[in-house]
Structure 1
Amino acid sequence: MDEMDRRILKVLARDGRISNAQLAQEVGLSPSPCWQRFRRLEQKGVISGYHAIFDQEKLGASEIVLIEIVLDRHDDETLEIFGQKMQQMPEVLEVHLTTGEYDYLIKVAVQGTRGYEEFLRKKLYKVPGIRHSRSSFVLRSLKNIQAYLP
């Protein structure tokens, strides 16, 4: 990957819906070589997908909660079930296996403290294998990007 590929990625990180003609103009290439580089980045898996960013408040789930979770066992079955259950919960935005005191860090979108209580009682606490959890409400996000380009 060279400097031109990095320039393409920086523009795409800012605007994933930019047209090829606009992208080519911003990075200083003609459209055909720009398209070829773009396709090569996709084929190599550097660009792994595209998604829309939603306004959680307008969707009725304006609070973000970070939950640290400790499992009571770490066998394959417990880990598999936990992963499947997290995939099935639409409120769960991210799930990270971590090192340290907690096994997982999950990011959840809910509507206020009542929505969070309902999520805990009706969903999270019904997942087998969870020994302990600790939660923190996000007060404000100062930076929210999806990728780091070294």
Structure 2
Amino acid sequence: MDRNLKIDNIDLKILSELSKNAKLPYTDVANRVFVSGGTVHVRMQKMEQAGIVKGSTLALDYSALGYDVTAFLGIYLEKSSMYEDVVAELQKIPEILNLHYTTGAYSIFARILCRDTKHLREVLHDKIQSVVGIERTETFISLEERIDRPPLLY
């Protein structure tokens, strides 16, 4: 893994195009960036080997699949030294989509996805709040997600 790979404007343009649509053929990316398809292919391989590109994702409408509740969870730890053990347990909970070690009021901030509020209650009570090292939690239910976009790459 080459962590010293130098990224230039062409790489950033390639990443920008593919972050908008990961299924875009390299030839289409090449046309938009004004390079050859081979150039896109080689540069993507190098960025994958360097660990910059970690794969591609499939965007799903979770609501259409019956998952209607997105919640954010502020987690207070009994002691910050318990962080690694708590994360190891939280990683086992499939409803947790993201986990961040944070500054501020919470030790950990998480995003979770559930079918409904009953499912959310079960996840909170039976799974998350039973993890040793978690002192308490605060839950914020998302009413609407208005913006979901990749970051702007310069």
Report the TM-score when normalising by structure 1.
0.90
Equivalent in 31, 34, 39 of residue 28 of structure 1: 34
Conserved 8 A contact 2:72-2:111: yes
Match of 1:134 in 2: 138
The alpha carbon displacement at 1:133 in A equals: 0.9
Match of 1:16 in 2: 22
Match of 1:122 in 2: 126
Match of 1:64 in 2: 70
Identity across the alignment (%): 25
Conserved 8 A contact 2:75-2:109: yes
The alpha carbon displacement at 1:106 in A equals: 0.5
1:87 aligns with 2:91: yes
Match of 2:9 in 1: 3
| C-alpha RMSD of matched pairs (Å) | 1.5
What is the number of equivalent residue pairs in this alignment?
Answer: 148
Structure 1, unaligned runs of 5 or more: none
Report the TM-score when normalising by structure 2.
0.88
2: CA distance, partners of 1:34 / 1:128: 48
Q: Which amino acid aligns with 2:30?
A: A
1: CA distance, partners of 2:54 / 2:77: 30
Q: Which amino acid aligns with 1:50?
A: S
The alpha carbon displacement at 1:112 in A equals: 2.1
